[in-house]
Amino acid sequence: MVGRWCLRHGLLDRHFRFLFPVLVLWLLNGCSSVGYYGQLASGQWQLLRAREPVAQVIADPSRPQVLRDHLAQSQKARIFASQHLHLPDNRSYRLYADIGRPFVVWNVFATSEFSLSPQTHCFPIAGCVAYRGYYSQGAARGEAALLQQQGMDVSIGGVEAYSTLGWFNDPIMSSMMSWGDERLATLIFHELAHQRFYVKDDTEFNESFATFVEQEGTRQWRAARGLPPASVSAVKQRDQFIQLILDTRERLERLYVQPLSADNMRFAKAAEFERFRSDYRQMRDAQWSGDKRYDTWVNAPMNNARLLPFGLYDRWVPAFAALFRQSGGDWLKFYTAVEKLGGLPGDERKQALSRLEGPDPVVGT
């Protein structure tokens, strides 16, 4: 179930790579197992020990030239992040760690058979999240098997990178070295945005904010280097694919409140997933000239848990784009406005974001 399928392409990787395990280990929630936190502590400690300054790696002639060149480009983006995007100027992403495996953690997502509500896990500082992270693929599979025995829908996502929200100086990891220079830059912008501002228990707000910073930051980064805007067609395909998934989720949510027997519900659920695949193939062939970049993900076994991450990263991006325009494109004014929104109670925050998405957006008070 776990593989490189979810992380090879520009869409699917970003719906897993930024889902981070909580690692503030001295503030553990006593209701969770000692064994689970033990593997978190061990895994994070090993990662911290593996770090070394990027400048040291670049200067070492015994290291692969491809690695040195890639890291050198990453540091240009890192400087741009702090000097032009006004993101935190610390040691995060100025360090490198060779972790010796394709993913740093594996996240386990679970829902009930007839629900799209995730099984959540709550932690101090970071709040509640819709997964559990494991540094061992075997441990993640073991957890998934136990949940499946309980009748849950389960999905495992390999994660190439995560953020500790500034609690540690996060390194660039060897699991990220297959990425292109620009994709690595987008990660740096996104993760430093989390360090700049984070609201406990509001994943949609946090990820949409960081995604906007990533997108606008990348646009400005390309412009600063005299490059044209990114391909419009690739962005359009990504957005259309996400919308297909969101439409499927909406239909499933309507289905799961119907007074059907379990057998009939299972039949209707399977039909919705087949409809999703059919709609995807029609879009792929009619509008994308047969581009099969998402085929592997679509054709894999489908369940509720696999749909969970989609939408979280995009829900409020238009609202943050409107807020950035209202701020005159001034990053510092924008961050001040974001902090104001983040300080509102949850319901008021969503109302303010909804108003920003309107035809004549205004900032909520």
pLDDT in tens, 252-265: 999 999 999 999 99
Mean pLDDT of 293-317: 90
Least confident of 50-59, 201-210, 224-233, 286-295: 224-233
Q: Is residue 250 exposed (0-12), middle (13-18) or buried (19+ Cβ within 10 Å)? A: exposed
Say if residue 365's pLDDT is above 70.
Answer: no
Mean pLDDT of 202-211: 92
Considering only CA atoms, which of 271, 250, 211, 284 is closest in space to residue 18?
A: 211
Rounded Cα distance between 123 and 271, Å, is 37
Would you say residue 147 lies in a domain?
yes
Would you say residue 186 lies in a domain?
yes
**pLDDT tens column, 126-179:** 677 788 899 999 999 999 999 999 999 999 999 888 888 888 999 999 999 888
Would you say residue 311 lies in a domain?
no
355 versus 160: the higher-pLDDT residue is 355
**Percent of the chain scored above 90 by pLDDT?**
70
Would you say residue 244 lies in a domain?
no
Would you say residue 251 lies in a domain?
no
Would you say residue 185 lies in a domain?
yes
Alpha-helical segments (H) within 225-261:
232-256
φ and ψ at residue 137, rounded to 5 degrees: -65, -35
Question: For the chain, how many structural domains are there in total?
Answer: 1
Rounded Cα distance between 126 and 9, Å, is 28
13 versus 243: the higher-pLDDT residue is 243
Least confident of 159-163, 179-183, 193-197, 201-205: 159-163
**pLDDT tens column, 24-74:** 433 344 445 677 888 888 888 999 999 999 999 999 999 999 999 999 999
Q: Output the pLDDT for position 310.
A: 84
Would you say residue 339 lies in a domain?
no
Structural domain containing residue 37: 4-224
Residue with tokens 């220079």: 181
Rounded Cα distance between 220 and 182, Å, is 12
Q: Please give the mean pLDDT across all residues of the chain.
A: 87
Would you say residue 274 lies in a domain?
no
